[in-house]
Structure 1
C-alpha cells in the first residue's frame, strides 16, 4: 500500500488564508469531515502532509518507495478516488486546466516540481476543489450529503429516543452513540442531518438539513440552524446560523446571526455578535485577498465572515459583508469592523487598533486550549510565532 501524502498547491494555499496559516490545506473542514479525513477514509490508510516548513513538525510528511501524492484541496468522490488509487508509477493526474490532482512516484516529489519527468494523464470529469475560502461554505451542503451517505451505508444510526423531539424524514437523520437530543425539531426533507458522538442538542433547537455537528458539539437552547451548516467537534453554537462551517473547538454560544461564514478553530464570538452576508445593493461581495492584498470578487451575492484560528470578537460586534479576520485577533467596539482585520490585531474600527503583543496572544491561546483538556505546546507556539512574524505590518 502506498504512502498517501496530501500536498498543498502553493497558489491554492494562499487563496485559503487565513485558515492555512495554521494548518495544511487538507486540514480544512468541508462537510462532516476535513479533507484529510475524507482521503484517509477513501484510501483506508493514514495520511501525511506536504506543507509549509513551519507546519511540518505538527503535520509531517512520510515517504516510502511507493508514494501517492494527492492535491490537498481535492474533495474525493467514488470515480475520482478509483482513478487516483489506480494511478501508475511515474504518472501525474492533471485537470484539463493544468492543475495537478495526483502523482504516483517511487521517489520524493514536490508540488513545485509540477509534472516534470512524469507522464501526464488528463482527468476530464467534473470534480470538486476547495480553491477559495468561500468554497468552504459554498460546497458544504453537497459535501455533507456525500459524507453522510458513506457513513449511513456502513453503520446504523443510534436513533432518536426523546419523545418530545419531532423529526421530518427520520430516515435522513443519523445519530451517533452518546448523542443527546431534547425537545427539538429536525427537518431532513431537503438534506441529511448528522449528529456526532456525544453531541448535545438542547431544548428548542430547530435544524434544517443538510446539517452536521461533530463529536461533543453543542447546540444551545433555541438555536436556529438553516441549511448547509457544519458545527465541528467540541464547538458550541447558538442563535441563528445559516450556511456556515465552524472547524472545531469554537464558540458562538449566544444569540446573534452568522451567515455564509467560516470560523477556524479556537474562535469565540461574544453575545449578540452579528454579521452581514448581503450587500444593500445586491452586488457581488468582495473579500480581502492575501494573494494580491486587494479585494477579490467572489462572484457571490451572499458572503459573510472568514475568521482565522484563535480569534475572538467582543459582545455586540458587527461584521460587514465579506469581512476577513486573521489569526489571533481580538476585535471589539462600536460600529462595523474593518473588512480586513490583520492577524494579531487588538481593537476595533471605532476605537483604533494596535498590535496584539505576542506573549499575551500566546498566553490567551494556551488558556483557551487548556480549558478543553488539550495540550498547547512548543510546536503550537512556534507556529503562532511564524505567523506573527510573517503577517506583521499587513
Structure 2
C-alpha cells in the first residue's frame, strides 16, 4: 500500500491564509472532519504532509518507495477515491482546469507543475477543492452530509434519553458515546445532526442541521445553531451561530452573532462579540487577499469573519462584513474593526493598533493551551516565531 502524502499547492496555500500560517491545507476542517482525517478514513491509512519547511517539524512527511501524493485541499468522494486508488506509479491526475489533484511515484517528489515524467490523466467528474477561505463555510453543509454518511455507516447511535429533548427526523441524528443532551430541540429535517463523543448540549439549545459538534465540545444554554455549522472538538459555543466553523479548541461561549465565518484553533470571542455577514446594500463582499495585498471580490453576498489561530476579541467587539484577522491578534474596543488586522496586532480601530510582542504572544498562547491540559511544545513556539517573521512587513502601524 502506498504512503499517502497530502501536499500543499503553494497558490492555494496563499489563498487560504491566515489559516494556513499554522497548519497544512489538509489540516483545515470542512464538514465534520479535517481534510486529512477524511482521507485517512477513506483510504484506511495514516497520512502525512508536504508543507512549508517551518511547519514540517510538526506536520511531518513520511515517504517510501511507493508514494501517493494528494492535493491537500481536495475533499474525497466515492468516484475520486476509486480513481486515485487505481493510479499506477508514474501517473498524475489533473482536472479539466489543469489543477493538480494527485500523483503516484516511486520517488520523492516536491511540488512542481512539471509533468514530463508522468502519464497525465484528466479527471472530468465534479469534485470539491478548497481554493479560498470562503469555500470552507460555503462547502460546509455538503461536507457535513458527506462525512455524516461515511462516519455513521454501519454504526448505531446512542439513544437520547432526555424526555425534554425533541428531535425532528431522528433517523438523521447521530449521537456518539458519552454525549449529553438536555431540554433541547434538534431539527434534522434539512440535514443531519452529528453529536460527537462526550459533547454536551445544554438546556434550551436549538439546533438546525446540517450541524456537527466534535468531541467534548459544549453548546451553552439557549444556543441558537442555524444550518451548515460545525463546532470542532474541545470548543465552547453560545449565542447565535450560522454557517460557520470553529476548527478546534476555540470559544464563542456567550451571546452574540457569528455568521458565514471560520475561526482557527485557540481563538476566543468575548461576550457580545458580533460580526456582519451581509452589507446593507446587498453588494458582493470584498475580502483581504494575501496574494494581492488588497481587497478582492469573493463573489458572495454573505461573508463574515476569518480568524487565524490564537487570536482573541474583547467584549462587544464588532467585525465588519468580510473581515480577516491574522494569527495571534488581540483586538478590542469600540466601533467596527478594520477589514484586515495583521498577525501579531494589539488594539482596535478606535484605540489604535500596535505590534503584539512575540514573547508576550507566545506566553499567552502557552497559557491558553495549558488551560486545556495540552502541552505548548517547542515546535508550536517555533511556528509562532516563523509566522511573526513572515508577517512583519504587514504590520504598518
**Is TM-score (shorter-chain normalized) higher than 0.5?**
yes
- 1:102 and 1:156 map into 2 onto residues whose CA distance is 34
Task: List structure 1 segments (4+ residues) > 4 angstroms apart after TM superposition.
Answer: none
* Residue in structure 1 matched with residue 138 of structure 2 by the alignment: 138
* Residue in structure 1 matched with residue 251 of structure 2 by the alignment: 251
In the alignment of these two chains, the number of paired residues is 394
- 2:235 and 2:5 map into 1 onto residues whose CA distance is 28
* Residue in structure 1 matched with residue 282 of structure 2 by the alignment: 282
* Residue in structure 1 matched with residue 382 of structure 2 by the alignment: 382
Deviations 1:212-264 (A, max 9, x none): 00000100000000000000000000000000011000000000000000000
* Residue in structure 2 matched with residue 322 of structure 1 by the alignment: 322
* Residue in structure 2 matched with residue 112 of structure 1 by the alignment: 112
- 1:120 and 1:150 map into 2 onto residues whose CA distance is 30
* Residue in structure 1 matched with residue 157 of structure 2 by the alignment: 157
Deviation at 1:114, TM superposition (A): 3.7
Deviation at 1:211, TM superposition (A): 0.1
- 1:109 and 1:357 map into 2 onto residues whose CA distance is 38
Deviation at 1:159, TM superposition (A): 2.0
- 2:338 and 2:160 map into 1 onto residues whose CA distance is 44
Query: Structure 1 residues 374 and 114, CA, compared in 2 at 3 Å: closer, same or farther?
Result: farther
Deviation at 1:116, TM superposition (A): 3.3
Q: SS at the partner of 1:20?
A: helix
- 1:362 and 1:246 map into 2 onto residues whose CA distance is 21
Deviation at 1:10, TM superposition (A): 0.5
Q: Quick check: 1:210 aligned with 2:231?
A: no
Q: How does 1:287-366 map to 2 (within 5 A)?
A: 287-366=287-366
Q: SS at the partner of 2:6?
A: strand
Deviation at 1:367, TM superposition (A): 0.2
> Structure 2: where are the runs of 5+ without partners?
none
Deviations 1:291-325 (A, max 9, x none): 00011100000000000000000000000000000
Does the aligned pair in 2 maintain the 1:196–1:213 contact within 8 Å? Answer: yes
Deviation at 1:113, TM superposition (A): 4.8
Q: SS at the partner of 1:111?
A: coil
Deviations 1:34-76 (A, max 9, x none): 0000000011010000000000000010100000000000000
Deviation at 1:153, TM superposition (A): 1.2
Q: SS at the partner of 2:37?
A: helix
Q: Quick check: 1:2 aligned with 2:11?
A: no
Deviations 1:342-367 (A, max 9, x none): 00000000100000000000000000
Deviations 1:133-179 (A, max 9, x none): 00000000000000000122121111211111000010000000000
* Residue in structure 2 matched with residue 188 of structure 1 by the alignment: 188
Deviation at 1:85, TM superposition (A): 1.1
Deviations 1:108-133 (A, max 9, x none): 11112542311100001110000000
- 2:285 and 2:383 map into 1 onto residues whose CA distance is 31
Q: What's the TM-score once normalised by structure 1's chain length?
A: 0.99
- 2:369 and 2:116 map into 1 onto residues whose CA distance is 43
- 1:227 and 1:114 map into 2 onto residues whose CA distance is 42
* Residue in structure 1 matched with residue 26 of structure 2 by the alignment: 26
Does the aligned pair in 2 maintain the 1:100–1:114 contact within 8 Å? Answer: no
Deviation at 1:194, TM superposition (A): 0.1
Q: SS at the partner of 1:112?
A: coil
| Aligned-pair Cα RMSD in Å | 0.6
- 1:109 and 1:85 map into 2 onto residues whose CA distance is 18
- 1:214 and 1:249 map into 2 onto residues whose CA distance is 10
- 2:114 and 2:305 map into 1 onto residues whose CA distance is 34
- 1:155 and 1:97 map into 2 onto residues whose CA distance is 38
- 1:80 and 1:113 map into 2 onto residues whose CA distance is 21
* Residue in structure 2 matched with residue 81 of structure 1 by the alignment: 81
> Structure 1: where are the runs of 5+ without partners?
none
Q: SS at the partner of 2:17?
A: coil
- 1:19 and 1:345 map into 2 onto residues whose CA distance is 16
- 1:364 and 1:65 map into 2 onto residues whose CA distance is 43
